[in-house]
Amino acid sequence: MPYGCLPLVAFFGLLILLPIFLADIMLTALSRLGLSPGVSMCAALGIFLGSMINIPVKRIPRTQVLESPTLGMFGFERMFPDRVRRTPYTVIAVNFGGCVVPVMIVIYELIRISFYGVTDLFLTAVAVAINVVACYHMARPIPKVGIAMPALVPGLLAALCGIVFHQELAPIIAFCAGVLGPLIGADLLHLNEIKKINTSVASIGGAGTFDGIVISGLLATLLAY
């Protein structure tokens, strides 16, 4: 072995540095939304930790019995894959980190935009509408997963809209479009298709941190700066 333990050390080094790198990117994006360092840190922690929490909001009765992870609502299904329960329904849930926290930030940003004037609010609505339509047509129901779509395309489209519509408010407009596009276009408008796929839990916001909603919003914010 010419390199000895070097590959192993490099692997663990990357394993340690990757979360730090991702956290730095997230904090940078949040700071560009006008959030203070303290609020940005709280939002980042809410996204990371909240990604483990799915809040049930509705049950859809099914004719067949479906298997679901016993600890799926708390994000530990991968740690305990053998712990399953059988239910005659599909649970519609909202992910706290992947949906609730980003939407709360969007509401705050929309309030900020409203102080700039009706025109800026209208341009933001147009950017959101464009992304909603695009996400609606790109989203597809996947058995045992839910509604899935390309993670990067909504963010790129939202960033482009932000830059074209208003350069000064580009990061804010891009974030709003990047979050609401996948949320409305991919998740909410495709809820009826959940009945057609074999899944016991459909989570709006998915796994949270790396779900399309968060990736789209943060990517759009960084690119539109």
Instruction: Classify 31 as helix, strand or coil.
Output: helix
The pLDDT value given to residue 1? 45
Residues in the chain predicted with pLDDT less than 70, given as ranges, are 1-23, 62-88, 143-146, 195-196, 198-199, 206-212, 224-225
Which is nearest to 97 in space by CA: 200, 225, 216, 214?
214
Question: What's CA 195's distance to the chain center, in Å?
Answer: 22
Instruction: Classify 198 as helix, strand or coil.
Output: coil
C-alpha 47/C-alpha 49 separation (Å) is 6
C-alpha 101/C-alpha 89 separation (Å) is 27
pTM: 0.79
Q: How far apart are the first and last CA of the chain?
A: 47
The total of other beta-carbon atoms located within 10 Å of residue 46's CB is 18
**Each residue's pLDDT tens digit, 117-162:** 999 999 999 999 999 999 999 888 776 666 778 878 888 898 899 9
The pLDDT value given to residue 67? 57
H-assigned helices in 32-100: 37-50
